[in-house]
Amino acid sequence: MEHVRGPYTISTDPRRLDESAVRRFLAQSYWAAGIPADTLRCSLAGALCFGMFHGTEQVGFCRVVTDRATFAWLCDVWIEEPHRGEGLGQWLVETVVAHPDLQGLRRLLLATRDAHSLYARCGFRAPTRPEAFMEIHHPDIYRTTAESPPPASPGAGAVARAEPPSPALAERTHAEQDLWTKVDGALEAWLAPADPVLAAAAAAATQAGLPEIAVAPAQGRFLEVLARATGARRILEIGTLAGYSTIWLARALPADGRLVTLEIDPGRARLAQENLERAGLGTRVEVIDGPAIESLAALRAARAAPFDLVFIDADKQNSRAYVENALALSRPGTLVVVDNVVRNGRVINADTGDAGVDGVRSMMDWIASHPRLRASALQTVGAKGHDGMLLAVVEDGPPGAGVSG
């Protein structure tokens, strides 16, 4: 079967699968790093496999282990980094759930560490009786094979990730995430109470099918506090999405302040503009659509006035280029904030093969040796899982310090 959406195709034809690409996907995962080639080949042969292709290039994958009558297990869900943020993960899972061979099943299961919201949108729920599940679990089985490299650290940023059967592990990690989410909720209740304008912006993003990658409310308030603390009058944001973080930042501006936000997708830029108008901030914010690198070059060519605060929340493979441009558009004292730099801990691994992780590491190396940047990075846990932010201050001369954490 084949399903087409724009330039993308989902196919269940096993002849189209690129085994080397699938192995590369899994090498970046937290559940199958180091899987032997023979094991992978056997797993593909024994499963109903779904490949996602952009033209002839395979950019996504998942498989279902099933008897096609009573039971199925969804696992190994993956979307390549450059193609994330387009709703492709949800489309892939929806295609699986709708497959004719998977109708009328008594149970369809999966385990995930950090993509619960995605699967919930496709109909999955936590087990009604988790205590009924038992397992024989060998999490390090690939580590013991001669050809296996050490497992990569837990992955982050994938649109969707499902690991092979491990209900007890899933329950434990879900409990940790549940605690983090509850703490975030308490902090929001105290410090960032419900706001109808922000709620409407979040609802509009959900209705438009945008990925849930905007900052959490507690982080939004943090950004607002940073903007107020620095007395920012001009703010640059790289990565608008639906304008949720934009609203938080723009509210910190004085009446004559200005915020410029860059969004690659015209549809998202229009949605963000609508949300900003609804928030009463339309005249204070300029939304520029197009590739951020090009927009930044245009701002530099136009000799735009320096910005007091720069918030970077866009594709991670271009992190260094974004910071370089931010520095060129800054003044001494400008604060540069980069989101999602810890990547669920994967930032410490140089060999993940993940372009996003590599981009963050390249940025870190560049900042660490730059004489005009004094920076620190903080790990965070919360509603968005395990990640972190980098904060860098632009200085006049060599500060004699690099990145600390």
Tokens for 4? 């087409």
CB atoms within 10 A of CB 70: 10
Task: Provide the residue ranges of all domains of the chain, joining segments of one domain with +.
Answer: 2-173, 192-404
Q: Indicate the residue type of 188.
A: E
User: Fold for domain 2-173?
Assistant: Aminopeptidase (3.40.630)
Best CA proximity match to 62, nearest among 163, 157, 148, 178? 163
pLDDT score, position 218: 92
Number of H helices, E strands in the chain: 12, 14
CB atoms within 10 A of CB 260: 19
Q: Indicate the residue type of 200.
A: A
Side-chain half-sphere of 65: how many Cα atoms within 13 Å?
Answer: 13
Instruction: Tell me the average confidence (pLDDT) per consecutive run of 10 residues in the chain, 405 residues long.
Output: 94 94 84 85 94 95 96 95 89 96 95 83 84 78 52 41 48 68 89 90 86 90 98 98 97 97 96 97 97 97 97 96 97 97 92 91 97 96 90 77 48
CB–CB of 381/219 below 8 Å?
no
Tell me the backbone φ, ψ of residue 354, rounded to 5 degrees. Answer: -90, 120
Separation of CA 52 from chain center? 19
- pTM for this structure? 0.62
3-class secondary structure, 403: strand
Task: Calculate helix-pair angle for 37-45, 19-27, nearest 10 degrees.
Answer: 110
Task: Provide the β-strand partners of residue 380.
Answer: 387
Burial 159-196 (b: 16+ CB within 10 A, else e): bbbbbbbbbebbeebbeebeebbeebeebbeeebeebe
pLDDT score, position 144: 53
Q: What is the rounded distance in angstroms from the CA atom of residue 1 to the CA atom of residue 13?
A: 7
List the 373-382 sheet strands across, edge first. 285-289, 258-263, 234-238, 307-312, 330-339, 385-394, 373-382, 403-404
May I ask the CATH architecture of the domain 192-404? Answer: 3-Layer(aba) Sandwich (3.40)
Torsional sign, CA 297, 299, 301, 306 = negative
Tokens for 236? 């640059």
Tell me the backbone φ, ψ of residue 325, rounded to 5 degrees. Answer: -70, -35
Burial of 16 (0-12, 13-18, 19+ CB in 10 A): middle
Phi-psi region of 209 (alpha: psi -120 to 50; beta: other; left: phi over 0): left
Q: How far is CA 401 from CA 220, 274, 310, 366, in A?
A: 28, 42, 21, 13
Q: What is the rounded distance in angstroms from the CA atom of residue 405 to the CA atom of residue 403?
A: 7
pLDDT score, position 175: 67
> CA triplet 228, 202, 262: central angle to 5 degrees?
60
Separation of CA 112 from chain center? 15
pLDDT score, position 255: 94
Q: What is the rounded distance in angstroms from the CA atom of residue 34 to the CA atom of residue 37?
A: 9
pLDDT score, position 400: 42
